[in-house]
Structure 1
Amino acid sequence: MMSVAERRALAAAEIHERTGIDEAMIDRLVRAFYARVRQDGMLGPIFAARIEDWEPHLQRMCAFWSSVALSTGRYQGQPVGKHVPLPVDGEHFDRWLALFEEVAAEICPPAAASHFVERARRIAESLELSVAASHGVLLGKGERFSWPVAEKTS
């Protein structure tokens, strides 16, 4: 019987063989994506208000995407808990996805970009559902979370 570590290594090898994704590609993607986020008019201020030292955040995000894209188990955090208190709604998740998809298409070969984007879409949907639920909003299929206009501008 294989250990968890052996199963993870086998999964990572299979994904790498199929997509070309490795830790170096994840590092390039994460760094390019967050460089774009930091300059974005919608997302940049949210991050700037919360992150002073970017390197630890980038390292966490590399571990996160290693876990998500390669099944390595490197990330041990709780992304829902980090996102629930943020002033974000469906528009923010759409922007995050648009930037992520742009960068993935620029940085990665098509099979890798598709692999990353498929997971990013599921992550964005899950986080949006969690943020909405934390504000007492239960989204139905196809519904999006949106702050009232007064709360968006304050």
Structure 2
Amino acid sequence: MSQSPFPIPSPDLYTEEEISKLVHEFYDKARKDPSLGPIFEEHVIDWDAHFVQMINFWSAQLRGTSRFRGAPMPKHIALPELSAKLFERWLALFKQTTHELGNTALEHHANTIATFIANRLWQGYQMSHYPDREPAALHTG
């Protein structure tokens, strides 16, 4: 049996309100970002539905709920002209947001997951768009 790369979800350490705040504050930053904002604005049709989906995702990851249904990889692979810098910027804004929330357990747990996800999505994107190249890792420092 393989060990999960993530900390175990804990409903005792994070509230649904904190998760909702994380999602809303992160996307507030991302939508205003000069490099990420235009991508989100072009591809997210229904922000209310997107917020629900992202809150469900992070609730599943952080609290162990089972509300999330979705497949993020195909949606990200379908986006044109993504780059390592965009994934790194997404991760930097995410980490800034988790830090500002002031819950160090949430910050560590969410950042671990976000770093893994950013790398996985970038690897998948590269394998789909550049099949003859060796996928490069993100600089997630």
TM range, smaller chain: 0.7 to 0.9
Q: Does 1:134 align with 2:128?
A: yes
Q: Does 1:110 align with 2:108?
A: no
Larger Rg: 1
Which of 74, 77, 95 aligns to 1:81? It is 74
Q: Does 1:94 align with 2:88?
A: yes
- State the TM-score, normalizing by the size of structure 1: 0.77
Question: In structure 1, how many angstroms separate the alpha carbons of the residues matched to 2:45 and 2:74?
Answer: 19
Equivalent runs, 1:49-68 vs 2, <5 Å: 49-68=42-61
Output one character per residue of 1:53-92: Cα deviation in whole Å (capped at 9) or x when no partner.
3111111100111122222221110000110011312111
Output one character per residue of 1:30-67: Cα deviation in whole Å (capped at 9) or x when no partner.
00000101000000000111124311111110011112
Count residues in correspondence.
129
Distance 1:70 1:137, change over 3 A: farther
Output one character per residue of 1:70-129: Cα deviation in whole Å (capped at 9) or x when no partner.
222211100001100113121111000000000000014111101100000000000001
Q: Does 1:46 align with 2:31?
A: no
Equivalent runs, 1:18-29 vs 2, <5 Å: 20-29=13-22
Does the 8 Å CA contact 1:27/1:62 hold for their aligned counterparts? yes
Distance 1:137 1:126, change over 3 A: farther
Q: Does 1:35 align with 2:21?
A: no
Structure 1 unaligned residues grouped into runs of 5+? 1-10, 146-154
Which of 11, 17, 21 aligns to 1:16? It is 11
Letter in 2 for 1:70: R
Does the 8 Å CA contact 1:43/1:96 hold for their aligned counterparts? yes
Relative to total residues, which structure has the larger helix share, 1 or 2?
Answer: 1
Question: Percent identity of the aligned residues?
Answer: 34
